[in-house]
């Protein structure tokens, strides 16, 4: 169990800057997800907590202690990677035993056996114990890999896209399993992923990383409903939030180049939402709805049927808008429809900086 | 892909097989010649055309291992009857085995030279591969200032023919007393093989994902423990391939062995041809010496053949 803090971390590799002024605070027992695109600096952050990489600037604290001079072994963290996560040539049992046999731990052979067996039971890999790792499927490998982390009882679990290489079905199953394990153990997890569904469904807290900077930290609910800027808005959510340029005129949202208007109710909540200021209106696809008497007309550009719902792409002028509608909605491509939005759910972003007016204060 | 073979493909295949057979025969012919000569009676060794069918005998090996002298007169029937079977073979060749005053058989120089070859080749291979593995690991895993320049420097030690430095090396060795010693040759061969070993091993090390060791570091092991427990077993293929090449180089080296050694530490390569000039040249004995000399490399390569095959296809296999 541990409380992790990263203070003002920067990291450069040669003349490439991986991280700039990064601050993170991961509470004890928290499932923290670091979300970002490939190359955003997620793995570098993780490796710095693990002690495999030294920050160019800034400090890492584990339970309030600056661990700058601690090696990976002393930090007592467990690492699960996307691939190459198991020791080759070893059996599953030997893999699980490996961390326990380290000289710094001095665990009795009986105790090792008990712990390995218990973990194997938890993860339902007992039948694989004597198998060599190159004869495991992807899902079994990741299960063993997670087992090797759990068996140690480390202070922190670090996971670098552990589910990304698996197929969809398995990923879903292991997602739930991993979350359950974390809740049962009550351990601190730092989980890195580029998959926003993983982040939303597993994280107690999510940190969105973009180009080596933390853009926003918050609960999945906050990240989803109140994105700090247009990057977070367009990165989180599937399909992402619709972003439309426009301005406010007399309490109505007027889309400047497209010339359509929608009612707006959020003005009272948001300071700085003055008439005429260039803005970006953000609206989630599920808050866009079709209605015969709605104010704006569009044509159906594309229909994606997802079973429980349909995702429509609506064309207004030459702008595209996504709308999530119930599956029973009967529409055809190129059919004219009328739509509106839920005025309470609209998020305003400053056009120039891209920052949400709610966050700008 | 469907396995469709047309008749032209089949005849091409046959042609390829014939080609491979011809090349194999060309390569194996000298080896067959050496091996067969090693078992021939002396009078059949130099016939023209070469004798292919003959009664094999062991006498060349008896002669190889013993000191002999020419008989002036044929041995008496009593002498002949008293001699053990292998000594009779020598009598038949018109020679007798040299014995000490107490009647002990005098060994030829060959067993000692052979041992010297083994000592020098094995020790220098272990040293070159061992140091090469560590050095390659360092180059592969750590950021080293001037890495490219250092690697080029290591490679550059092979850029001149070694014989060029033979005279200065000889003078230096004489000055420090390394002349005609095992260590002298071991140091020489190790130095010669090291650059090769570093470069080859670096290639293999680069192929081993560093995630393995990092996992071990996180799991509570020191880097040196991680190296021995995780990296070394993974590098086994590379080590085997490198060891075979280093061993062959050290085992076959002739020029330096000839210059730097004469008795105590002399290896087999300069010794075998030196027998041509002493008295009548008996090609069967030389062939026997060469035949035995070929065996260790053949055995070593055979034992490591799986590693060698994997080593050659390294990097071509998706992991």
Q: Are residues A353 and A215 in the same domain?
A: no
Percent of chain A whose predicted confidence (pLDDT) is above 90: 32
Tokens of A162: 């552990």
CATH number at residue B248: 1.10.3720.10
**Domain span holding position A322:** 242-360
Q: Are residues B307 and B161 in the same domain?
A: yes
Q: pLDDT digit string (tens) for A320-342?
A: 889 999 988 888 889 999 888 88
Percent of chain B whose predicted confidence (pLDDT) is above 90: 40
Considering only CB atoms, A102 lies closest to which of B214, B220, B230, namely B220
Q: Are residues A247 and A125 in the same domain?
A: no
Compare B75 and B289 and report the one with higher pLDDT. B289
Q: Are residues B72 and B143 in the same domain?
A: no
Q: Is pLDDT of B116 > 90?
A: yes
pLDDT value at residue B316: 41
pTM of the predicted model over 0.90: no
3-state DSSP assignment of residue A314 = strand
Looking at chain A, which residue has its C-alpha nearest residue B236?
A: A89
Considering only CB atoms, A102 lies closest to which of B212, B219, B230, namely B219
- Per-residue pLDDT, averaged over B4-11, amounts to 79
Q: How confident is the model at residue B319 (pLDDT cuts 50, 70, 90)?
A: very low
Rounded (5°) CA angle A241-A247-A250: 125
Q: pLDDT digit string (tens) for A183-218?
A: 888 889 999 999 888 899 899 999 999 998 999 999
CA A183 to chain centre: 18
Q: Are residues A221 and A336 in the same domain?
A: no
Which chain B residues have any C-beta within 8 angstroms of a chain A C-beta?
A: 209, 211-212, 214-222, 225, 230, 233-234
- Per-residue pLDDT, averaged over A351-356, amounts to 87
Residues of A in contact with B230 (CB under 8 A): 87
A32 in a structural domain:
yes
- Residue B252 Cα distances to A180, B142, B269, angstroms: 64, 35, 7
Q: Are residues A190 and A265 in the same domain?
A: no
Yes or no: say if B123 and B189 are a contact pair by the CB < 8 Å rule: no
B211–A148 C-beta distance less than 8 A: no
Q: Are residues A20 and A154 in the same domain?
A: yes
* Helical (H) or strand (E) element with A77: strand A77-80
Q: Are residues B79 and B190 in the same domain?
A: no
Q: Is pLDDT of A291 > 90?
A: no
Strand A4-13 relative to strand A16-26: parallel, antiparallel, unpaired?
antiparallel
Residues of A in contact with B141 (CB under 8 A): none
B318 in a structural domain:
no
Q: Are residues B169 and B239 in the same domain?
A: yes
A253 in a structural domain:
yes
Strand A242-249 relative to strand A213-218: parallel, antiparallel, unpaired?
unpaired
Q: Are residues A293 and A186 in the same domain?
A: no
- Per-residue pLDDT, averaged over B266-283, amounts to 78
Looking at chain A, which residue has its C-alpha nearest residue B208?
A: A84
pLDDT value at residue A256: 66
Tokens of A159: 């996971």
- Per-residue pLDDT, averaged over A224-236, amounts to 91
B212–A99 C-beta distance less than 8 A: no
Q: Are residues B170 and B304 in the same domain?
A: yes
A85–B211 C-beta distance less than 8 A: yes
Q: Are residues B93 and B217 in the same domain?
A: no
Least confident of A257-266, A352-361, B7-16: A257-266
Q: Are residues A99 and A49 in the same domain?
A: yes
Q: Are residues B157 and B273 in the same domain?
A: yes
Q: Are residues A165 and A44 in the same domain?
A: yes
Q: pLDDT digit string (tens) for A4-32?
A: 999 999 999 888 888 998 999 999 999 99
Yes or no: say if A207 and A216 are a contact pair by the CB < 8 Å rule: yes
Q: Is pLDDT of A117 > 80?
A: yes
Q: Are residues B117 and B33 in the same domain?
A: no
Structural domain tally of chain A?
Answer: 2
Q: Is pLDDT of B146 > 80?
A: yes
Strand partners, A336: A299
Compare A1 and A123 and report the one with higher pLDDT. A123
Q: Are residues B197 and B77 in the same domain?
A: no
pLDDT value at residue A86: 86
- Per-residue pLDDT, averaged over A255-275, amounts to 65
Mean pLDDT value across chain B? 86
B62 in a structural domain:
no
Q: pLDDT digit string (tens) for B215-234?
A: 899 888 999 999 999 999 88
Tokens of B254: 């002739």
Minimal CA–CA distance to B120: which of B258, B262, B265, B254? B265
pLDDT value at residue B312: 60
- To probe the interface with B, which of A85, A87, A90, A106 has the most B CB atoms within 10 Å? A87
B187-201 in b/e burial notation, b at 16+ Cβ within 10 A? Answer: bbbbebbbbbbbbbb
How many C-beta neighbours within 10 Å does residue A323 have?
26
pLDDT value at residue A294: 82
pLDDT value at residue A259: 63
Mean pLDDT value across chain A? 87
Q: Are residues B153 and B92 in the same domain?
A: no
Q: Are residues A246 and A218 in the same domain?
A: no
CA A40 to chain centre: 12
Residues of A in contact with B212 (CB under 8 A): 84, 87-88
Yes or no: say if A349 and A283 are a contact pair by the CB < 8 Å rule: no
- Per-residue pLDDT, averaged over B154-163, amounts to 86
Rounded (5°) CA angle B316-B318-B319: 125
Structural domain tally of chain B?
Answer: 3
Q: Are residues A252 and A180 in the same domain?
A: no
- Residue A175 Cα distances to A259, A335, B299, angstroms: 44, 40, 53
Strand partners, A313: A302, A322
CATH number at residue A98: 3.40.50.300
- Per-residue pLDDT, averaged over B308-313, amounts to 66
Cα B251 to Cα A20: distance, rounded to the nearest angstrom: 57
Considering only CB atoms, A89 lies closest to which of B214, B222, B233, namely B233
Q: Are residues B278 and B182 in the same domain?
A: yes
| Residue found by looking up tokens 């198991």 in the block | A86
- Distance, in angstroms, between B52 CA and closest chain A CA? 50
Q: Are residues B207 and B72 in the same domain?
A: no
The sign of the torsion formed by the CA atoms of A179, A182, A188, A193 equals negative
A57 in a structural domain:
yes
Minimal CA–CA distance to A266: which of A230, A226, A237, A211? A226
Considering only CB atoms, B219 lies closest to which of A84, A88, A98, namely A98
Helices B305-312/B283-303 angle, 10° precision: 70
Cα B297 to Cα A19: distance, rounded to the nearest angstrom: 54
pLDDT value at residue B134: 96
Cα A223 to Cα A221: distance, rounded to the nearest angstrom: 6
Q: Is pLDDT of A1 > 80?
A: no
A87–B218 C-beta distance less than 8 A: no
Cα B216 to Cα A50: distance, rounded to the nearest angstrom: 12
Residues 6+ apart with CB under 8 A from A301: A312, A313, A314, A315, A320, A333, A334
Residues of B in contact with A71 (CB under 8 A): 217
B218–A73 C-beta distance less than 8 A: yes
User: What is the count of residue pairs from A and B with beta carbons less than 8 Å apart?
Assistant: 57
- Distance, in angstroms, between B221 CA and closest chain A CA? 6
**Domain span holding position B25:** 7-37
Q: Are residues A220 and A254 in the same domain?
A: no
pLDDT value at residue B133: 96
- Per-residue pLDDT, averaged over A306-310, amounts to 88
Least confident of A231-235, B31-35, B158-162: B158-162
Cα A118 to Cα A271: distance, rounded to the nearest angstrom: 56
């Amino acid at each position: 169990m541990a409380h992790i803090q990263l203070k003002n971390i920067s990291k450069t590799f040669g003349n490439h800057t991986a991280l700039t002024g990064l601050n993170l605070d991961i509470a004890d027992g928290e499932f923290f997800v670091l979300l970002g695109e490939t190359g955003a600096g997620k793995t570098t952050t993780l490796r710095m907590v693990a002690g495999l990489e030294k920050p160019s600037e800034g400090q890492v604290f584990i339970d309030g202690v600056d661990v700058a001079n601690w090696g990976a072994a002393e930090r007592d963290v467990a690492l699960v990677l996307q691939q190459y996560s198991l020791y080759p040539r070893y059996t599953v049992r030997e893999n699980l035993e490996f961390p326990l046999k380290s000289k710094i731990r001095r665990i009795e052979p009986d105790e090792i056996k008990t712990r390995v067996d218990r973990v194997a039971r938890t993860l339902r890999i007992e039948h694989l114990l004597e198998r060599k790792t190159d004869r495991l499927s992807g899902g079994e490998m990741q299960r063993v890999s997670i087992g090797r982390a759990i068996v140690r009882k480390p202070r922190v679990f670090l996971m670098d896209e552990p589910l990304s290489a698996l197929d969809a079905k398995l990923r879903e199953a292991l997602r739930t399993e991993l979350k359950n394990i974390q809740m049962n153990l009550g351990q601190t997890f730092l989980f890195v992923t580029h998959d926003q569904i993983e982040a939303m469904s597993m994280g107690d807290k999510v940190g969105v990383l973009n180009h080596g900077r933390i853009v926003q930290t918050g609960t999945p609910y906050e990240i989803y409903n109140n994105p700090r800027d247009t990057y977070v808005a367009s990165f989180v959510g599937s399909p992402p939030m619709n972003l439309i340029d426009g301005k406010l005129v007399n309490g109505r949202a007027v889309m400047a180049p497209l010339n359509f208007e929608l009612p707006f109710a959020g003005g009272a909540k948001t300071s700085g939402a003055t008439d005429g200021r260039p803005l970006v209106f953000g609206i989630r696809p599920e808050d866009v709805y079709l209605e015969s008497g709605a104010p704006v007309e569009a044509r159906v550009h594309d229909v994606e049927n997802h079973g429980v719902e349909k995702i429509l792409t609506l064309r207004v002028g030459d702008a595209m808008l996504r709308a999530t509608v119930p599956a029973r909605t009967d529409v055809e491509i190129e059919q004219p429809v009328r739509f509106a939005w839920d005025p309470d759910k609209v998020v305003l972003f400053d056009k120039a900086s891209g920052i949400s007016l709610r966050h700008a204060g | 892909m469907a396995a469709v073979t047309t008749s032209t493909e089949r005849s091409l295949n046959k042609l390829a097989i014939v080609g491979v057979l011809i090349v194999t025969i060309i390569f194996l012919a000298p080896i067959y010649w050496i091996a067969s000569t090693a078992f021939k009676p002396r009078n059949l060794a130099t016939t023209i055309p070469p004798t292919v069918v003959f009664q094999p005998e062991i006498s060349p090996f008896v002669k190889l291992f013993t000191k002999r002298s020419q008989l002036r007169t044929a041995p008496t029937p009593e002498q002949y009857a008293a001699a053990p079977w292998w000594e009779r073979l020598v009598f038949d060749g018109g020679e007798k085995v040299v014995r000490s005053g107490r009647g002990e058989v005098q060994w030829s120089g060959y067993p000692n030279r052979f041992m010297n070859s083994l000592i020098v080749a094995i020790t220098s291979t272990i040293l070159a591969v061992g140091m090469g593995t560590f050095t390659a690991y360092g180059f592969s895993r750590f950021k080293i200032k001037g890495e490219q320049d250092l690697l080029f420097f290591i490679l550059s030690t092979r850029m001149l023919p070694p014989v060029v430095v033979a005279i200065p090396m000889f003078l230096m060795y004489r000055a420090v007393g390394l002349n005609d010693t095992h260590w002298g040759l071991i140091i020489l061969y190790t130095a010669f093989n090291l650059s090769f070993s570093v470069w080859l091993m670096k290639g293999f090390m680069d192929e081993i994902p560093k995630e393995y060791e990092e996992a071990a570091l996180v799991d509570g092991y020191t880097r040196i423990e991680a190296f021995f427990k995780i990296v070394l077993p993974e590098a086994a293929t590379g080590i085997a391939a490198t060891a075979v090449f280093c061993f062959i180089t050290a085992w076959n080296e002739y020029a330096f062995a000839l210059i730097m050694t004469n008795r105590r530490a002399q290896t087999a390569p300069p010794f075998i041809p030196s027998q041509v000039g002493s008295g009548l040249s008996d090609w069967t004995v030389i062939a026997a010496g060469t035949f035995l000399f070929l065996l260790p490399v053949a055995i070593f390569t055979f034992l490591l053949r799986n590693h060698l095959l994997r080593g050659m296809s390294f990097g071509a296999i998706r992991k």
